[in-house]
Amino acid sequence: QGLKPLAPTESPHPIFGTSKPAPGLPASHPSLSTNKVPDLQKIFQRSDGLPVHLKRGYPDRMLYRTTMALTIGGTIYCLIALYIASQPKNQ
């Protein structure tokens, strides 16, 4: 009799490189209508002196500032916690 194969012998459908929409998406889904890559390439390849993570304007600046504030606040909190932990307990 032999052993039965654990994996199916048929190859799965390819995910990339298909021109047909996925079975669950309607043909008029907004993400299928336009290619945004050329527009984003124009934005990110512009030589305006800004770093890549700040090129898209106000939302990127707010995300960057929030991340930096949380990082600095967390560092200060850790230093305070280490200082408190290093002090001997009073008896």
pLDDT (tens digit per residue) in 61-82: 999 999 999 999 999 999 999 9
| Cα–Cα distance for residue pair 61/44, rounded to 1 Å | 15
- Extents of the domains making up the chain: 52-86
pLDDT at position 45 over 70:
yes
pLDDT at position 44 over 90:
no
pLDDT (tens digit per residue) in 8-31: 667 666 666 655 656 665 656 666
